[in-house]
Structure 1
Amino acid sequence: MKVFFASSLCWDYPPIEVIAIAKEYKIQGLELWAEHIYHHQSDPYEIRSAAEKEGVTLSLHASSWDLNICSINNGIQEQSVRELKKSIDLAEALQVVHMTFHPGRFTVKNYLAHAHMQALVKNTKVIVEYAAAKGVVLSQELMEPIAKEMITNPRAMNTFLEQVGQGLHVTLDIAHTPLEESNINYLDNLERVNSIHLSDSSKKQYHLPLGEGEIDLDSILTSLSNTDFPVVLEGMDTTRELTFLKKHLAFLQNAGWIEGKTNV
């Protein structure tokens, strides 16, 4: 298991400083968020150089806020594709191991479902082809089962992979799996998984610090310990205290999953 964390957990820190934080806490890798890089107006080549110097492996979470590559509004759809291509350019400059991105969603729930899916498959193929030309490995995130999301379970994702064809992998977000379902079954049944997003969740809230929700973390961590792909600690923290990240790391250390820095 290769432990990464998302740069969104250190939102107020510029990406180069987040690399130093990863080094300080003895974390193997960092999943940079494209919006985080843009927010701090950071130079991707400087980030890449700093990561190489500190021995921190990079992945990238593509832009996702306000985007929808299968929107009924063609202008939104076209701009969303452009923004994902921009993220792929960023991934190429950073030389990341892979880039995770979100699928599109319904503009209006259960309205024009076939048109949405046609646009989703068509535009995902465009993005996959663009990424292949740039040498960027793509991973599609399995989303949570909420209103307007289209791909929320292994069967739907596997069918989508068949429609898109080769060149697309899957990111399983542990917090997105319904609490009554098994994350281990999701992991076993999903095809082409190459990364994991890890946080806790409850019936009231997704993406909680590990140990503060209702997920059976011990069983999924035991299963993930036999894998060799990035396991990315996720969450959003806009403070300077790094409380969310520290809670994640303290849980993993107390459970014996990582050694890391003492006194997190």
Structure 2
Amino acid sequence: MKLFIASSLCWDYHPNEVITIAKENGLHGVELWAEHIYYHQANPAEIRIHAEKESIELTLHASSWDLNICSINKGIQEQSIAELKKSIDLASALGALHMTFHPGRLTVKKYLVDEHMRALVTNTKRLLEYAAVREVVLSVEMMEPIAKEILTEPKAMNYFLEQVGGGLQVTFDIAHTPLEESNQIYLKELQRVNSIHVSDSKRDQYHVPLGEGEINLEEILPCLAEKDLPIVLEGMDTGRSLFFLKKHLNYLHKEWKERKRSI
């Protein structure tokens, strides 16, 4: 298992400090959030040098807040594409393994679905063309089944991949799978998965520390352990204590320790 941490777990720390934190905890890599880099006004060239020095691999989570690449509002749509192109440039400068980005969503739920999908396919192809020139691999994230989200289950995502064509990869987030569904089955059904986001989930809250939600972790974690992909511990923590990250790591250490005992 290639364990990464999302830099959003260490929001108050400079990206170079997050890389050091990952190194100190014996982790394989860091998924830097574009907004985190912008927030600290960090230099991507310096981040890349520091990561190479520490032997830490990098991926990038593109800007996603307030963006929608298939918005009915053409101004929002074009600005969202511009922001994602900016993230692609950032991924290139970082030497990131890939860039995860969020698909667009409905502007008004349940209305003009076909129009949104046409825009989503067209604009994703535009991003793929831009990324190819910069030698950046793109990975679209399957989202949680909430109002306005479009790509929320394997069948819809696989169909979208067919429409877009080759080149696009998929980021699977176990916290986005409905609690009544199986992450193991979702992962088996999804095509082109090259990255997996990990956190726990409750019925009233997504992305909580591992062991504090209702996901069947005993089912999915052994499957993830066999994957030679970035397994990214996710969450949002704006403090300095790193309590969220520590809870993730403590759970995993306990889980693997108990598993070894049972063998």
- CA displacement at 1:133 relative to structure 2: 1.0
2:160 alignment partner in structure 1: 160
Q: State TM-score, norm by structure 1.
A: 0.97
Alignment correspondent of 1:187: 187
Quote the residue 2:149 is aligned against.
149
Deviation, 1:256, is 1.4
* Residue 50 (structure 1) aligns with: 50
Q: Give the structure 2 partner of residue 28 of structure 1.
A: 28
Equivalent residue number for residue 41 of structure 2:
41
How far apart in 2 are the matches of 1:161 and 1:129? 15
Shift of 1:49: 0.3
Provide structure 2 residue ranges, at least 5 long, that are not aligned to the other structure.
Answer: 258-263
CA distance in 2, matches of 1:186, 1:133: 32
Which has the higher mean CA deviation after the structures are superposed, 19-28 or 40-49? Answer: 19-28
The residue aligned with 1:262 is: none
**Is the partner of 1:256 in helix, strand or coil?**
helix
Structure-1 separation of matches of 2:149 and 2:134: 28
Shift of 1:33: 0.1
Aligned equivalent of 1:261: none
Cα distance in 2 for partners of 1:90, 1:204 equals 34
Match for 2:83: what amino acid? Answer: E
Aligned counterpart, 2:261:
none
Secondary structure of residue in 2 paired with 1:241? coil
2:255 and 2:180 map into 1 onto residues whose CA distance is 24
| 1:99-142: CA deviation from partner (whole Å, max 9, x where unpaired) | 10000000000111111111000000000111111111110000
User: What is aligned with 1:111?
Assistant: 111
Query: Match of 1:177?
Result: 177
Which residues of structure 1 form unaligned runs of 5+? 258-264
SS of residue paired to 2:256: coil
The alignment status of 1:101 with 2:97, answered yes or no, reads no
Query: 2:74, 2:124 → 1: CA distance?
Result: 15
Give the superposed CA RMSD.
1.0
* Distance in 1 (alpha carbons) for counterparts of 2:218 and 2:136: 33
Task: Give the % identical residues.
Answer: 69
Looking at structure 2, the residues matched to 80 and 205 of structure 1 have their Cα atoms a distance apart, in angstroms, of: 26
In the TM superposition, structure 1's runs of 4+ consecutive aligned residues that sit over 6 Å from their partners are none
Distance 1:68 1:225 in 2: 33
Name the residue aligned to 1:73. Answer: 73
| Equivalent in the alignment of 1:12 | 12
Mapped to 2, the partners of 1:79 and 1:174 lie a distance apart of 29
For the residues of structure 2 that align with 1:156 and 1:86, how far apart are their CA atoms? 27
Residues 236-247 of structure 1: pairs in structure 2 closer than 5 A: 236-247=236-247
Q: Distance in 2 between matches of 1:136 and 1:163?
A: 20
Secondary structure in 2 matching 1:206 = strand
Render the CA deviation track for 1:182-232: whole Å, top value 9, x for unaligned.
000000000000000000001111000000001111221111111100000
Deviation of 1:78 (Å): 0.2
Query: How many Å apart are 1:24 and its aligned residue?
Result: 1.0
Query: Deviation of residue 238 (structure 1)?
Result: 0.2
Count of residues in Structure 1 that have an aligned counterpart in Structure 2 = 258
Give the Cα–Cα distance (whole angstroms) in 2 for the partners of residues 158 and 238 of structure 1.
Answer: 35
Residue 229 of structure 1 aligns with which residue?
229
Which residue in 2 is equivalent to 1:211? 211
Letter in 2 for 1:28: H
- Give the aligned residue type for 2:90: L
The amino acid across from 1:26 in the alignment is G
Q: CA separation in 2, counterparts of 1:33 and 1:104? A: 18
Alpha-carbon distance in structure 1 between the residues aligned to 2:223 and 2:29 = 20
Distance 1:218 1:253 in 2: 14
